[in-house]
């Protein structure tokens, strides 16, 4: 069984004329419905993450600053990151979805889950929002797993941008393996290959920075070799995916030249590694992807693999 987390309230996070907009999720849901994929998923209900949950990872000062900004009518945290009046509550709803998905998968209610949420999260640092992201959804999910006694978590981030916030959250923690493949050099300026962790977490971070112009074949070959090796070292009990689709060649923000079928291969690689090491347990979370029609096709391909398409 695969869980699908979606709530129309995610559309209420109003970013105006911004690449990270509600139309992304509207077109994804239309595509999933058209392909019959939503009918094949379980659709759980869940509670938003409360401030106590957010504060297990984020500074309470940051949580309160997001609440005050939204309550005061919204504004920009930085030139890229918009907060509207509903955004604080929607951010808590997104984080709550990922935390609930992790909890259910670890309770054996399902083997896989996909969280179709916004705002995205992998750039959010413990102390501040950035890069379209308010709270770090996937890192909060990993924190839930650690609290439940999971000894080793693998986070795979294939968004075109480096997941700097997620890396920062667990850079010295040997229990969380963080693997990121991303365009380099590019926003946010982190993710060089020599960033491998610190203190007890040394070696638990692996970055695969690839230059613009890398061929699809070279991309897939490099990811396969590096990720298989890293997963064998980590031996995860749970696999989390920051599923950004802005590496597609038609994405207006990122692009690494990929096609829809390349995300089919990436999805298959992650599910096979989860089968080998983590009893098939995968929780995937939407991150980037800013060409809504193309994004919808990529997400449908990804969800098909979570549902068991071979």
Q: What percent of the chain has pLDDT over 70?
A: 99
Range of the domain at 24: 2-306
Cα separations in angstroms, 132 against 101, 207, 280 = 22, 22, 31
Judge if pTM exceeds 0.95: yes
Return the pLDDT at 309.
58
Q: Which of 13, 122, 123, 277 is catalytic?
A: 123
- Percent of the chain's residues with pLDDT above 90: 99
Residues pairing with 2 in the sheet: 112
259 has a pLDDT exceeding 70:
yes
Question: Which residues contact residue 74 at a Cβ distance below 8 angstroms, ignoring those fewer than 6 apart?
Answer: 14, 82, 83, 84, 85, 87
Task: Kindly state the tokens that stand for 96.
Answer: 């709550």
The 8-class DSSP code of residue 47 comes to: -
149-168 pLDDT, tens digit each: 999 999 999 999 999 999 99
Determine whether 62 is an active site residue: no
3-state helix/strand/coil string of 104-166: HHHCCCCCEEEECCCCCCCCCECCECECCECCCHHHHHHHHHHHCCCCCEEEEECCCCCCHHH
pLDDT higher than 60, residue 310? no
What is the largest distance, in Å, between two alpha-carbon atoms of the chain?
49
Cβ within 8 Å of residue 108, ≥6 positions away: none
Alpha carbon of 37 to those of 24, 115, 163, 268: distances in Å?
A: 17, 14, 28, 17
CA distance 131 to 242: 14
pLDDT confidence of residue 285: 99
- Cβ atoms within 10 A of the Cβ of 107, count? 9
Q: Which two tokens stand for residue 36?
A: 């019959």
Name which of 264, 254, 249, 255 is nearest 309 in CA terms.
Answer: 264
| Residue 236: strand, helix, or coil | coil
Residue 47 pLDDT: 98
Indicate the average pLDDT of the chain.
Answer: 97
Residue 18 pLDDT greater than 80, yes or no: yes
Arithmetic mean of pLDDT, 97-103? 99
Q: What is the DSSP letter of 258?
A: B
Count structural domains, the chain.
1
CATH number of 69's domain? 3.40.800.20
Q: Quick check: 248 pLDDT over 70?
A: yes
Give the separation between CA 298 and CA 102, rounded to whole angstroms.
23
What is the C-alpha to C-alpha distance for residues 77 and 88, in angstroms, rounded to an integer? 12
Position 263 confidence tier, pLDDT thresholds 50, 70, 90: very high
């Amino acid at each position: 069984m695969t869980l699908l987390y979606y709530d129309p309230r995610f559309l209420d996070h109003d970013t105006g004329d911004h690449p990270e907009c509600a139309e992304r999720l509207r077109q994804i849901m239309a595509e999933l419905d058209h392909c019959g994929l939503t009918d094949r998923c379980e659709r759980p209900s869940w509670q938003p993450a409360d401030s106590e949950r957010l504060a297990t990872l984020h500074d309470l000062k940051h949580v309160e600053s997001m609440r005050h900004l939204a309550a005061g009518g919204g504004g920009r945290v930085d030139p890229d990151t918009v907060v509207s009046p509903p955004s604080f509550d929607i951010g808590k709803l997104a984080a709550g979805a990922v935390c609930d998905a992790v909890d259910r998968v670890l309770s054996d209610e399902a083997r896989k889950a996909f969280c179709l949420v916004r705002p995205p999260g992998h750039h959010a640092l413990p102390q501040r929002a950035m890069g379209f992201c308010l709270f770090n959804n996937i890192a909060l999910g990993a924190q839930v797993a650690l609290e439940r006694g999971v000894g080793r978590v693998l986070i795979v981030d294939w968004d075109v941008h480096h997941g700097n916030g997620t890396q920062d959250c667990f850079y010295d923690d040997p229990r969380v393996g963080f693997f990121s493949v991303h365009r380099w050099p590019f926003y946010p300026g982190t993710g060089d290959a020599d960033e491998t962790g610190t203190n007890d977490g040394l070696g638990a971070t692996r970055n695969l920075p690839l230059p613009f112009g890398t061929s699809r074949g070279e991309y897939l070959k490099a990811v396969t070799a590096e990720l298989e090796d890293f997963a064998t070292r980590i031996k995860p009990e749970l696999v989390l995916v920051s599923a950004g689709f802005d590496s597609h060649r038609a994405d207006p923000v990122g692009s690494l030249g990929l096609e829809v079928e390349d995300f089919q291969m990436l999805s298959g690689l992650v599910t096979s590694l989860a089968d080998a090491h983590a009893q098939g347990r995968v929780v995937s979370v939407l991150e980037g992807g800013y060409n809504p029609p193309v994004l919808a096709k990529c997400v449908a391909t990804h969800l098909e693999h979570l549902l068991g398409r071979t």
